Chains A and B, each alone.
Chain A
Amino acid sequence: MIPTHYFLILSAILFTIGVVGVLTRKNGITIFMSIELMVNAVNLTFLAYARQFHQVHGLIFVFFIMAIAAAEAAVGLAIFITLFHHRDTIDVDEANLMHW
């Protein structure tokens, strides 16, 4: 049996990679993928704790997170398609219509 904190450390590493991706990239879809990576890191944490405490609730949270991630992907990609049709790019710096 692999100890729980191994999974937690892996999850932390993946989450950090996701954070770096969001902070340093300009391509909207890459940023979005980094967010998905962070969401998955959190899922891993949920499952690790679920096994540590033998609680099914953690699994159900992961279930919900997956459903919400699907919804998020649909809406997010629709936003990027719209952005592309208005600006011909998905560079997030170009999405400055509400910029003051």
Chain B
Amino acid sequence: MSNIFNIARYEMRRIFLSPLAWSVLAIVQFIMGFVFINLLVEFANNPGSGEEFGVSDYIGGSLYGFATILLLLIMPLMTMRLFSEERKSGSITLLFSAPVSLTEIVLGKFVGLLGFIAAIVVLMALMPLSLNWSTDLDWGRIAAGLFGLFLLMMAFGAAGLFVSSLTREPTIAAVGSFGLLLVVWLINILGYNDSIPFKEVFSYLSLIDHYESLRRGVFDTADAIYYVLFSALFLWLAVLRLDMERN
């Protein structure tokens, strides 16, 4: 257990030492701030909408709904280096020769990445927080949205980590995990096609459908479990992949 945290600590440190992490955070915050102000102006100009939708619904729902698309674009960039760069530079040997198991290596890197994800979630929380002094916010609803974003990014991260363990080129890892995420995201298209058997299964498997209810402030354990299982599956695949590499 302590091995996982030691690896995670240094992984997180290395993420935050790279200019990539800071540029990503800055750009995400800039775009989200732009969307946030836009939503705010729109809300202020439509006084009638406040009847059915409060500011929390309007801002929280739309802002975090938009954030999912942005995160789909940036998470592959954050996960691409995890294994492929280490393999390319040969530094992966350090972990492979140390008395730590493959599961500990994978979990350590994953937990380190969660640190970065937490930073994004905090930044996302800051925008509605700035309204806290001028209006009453439904914090439960916003928390559900933020928690959903965290779960979604966790799933993106696990899938990206797996793809990163497949190759030694970070760029290929980025393209690959972006493709993988987009396919799992869009798999619910099949659910709308009546000629496809078991269409409900496809729409249930889609990454984004489970976020919808969280975004609307409905916390369902099934959705949370979906993301946890999704992440666990890809982390397990990453462990298998690293084990294969030795054989």
* A and B bind: no
**Which residues of B are at the interface with A, using a C-beta cutoff of 8 A?**
none
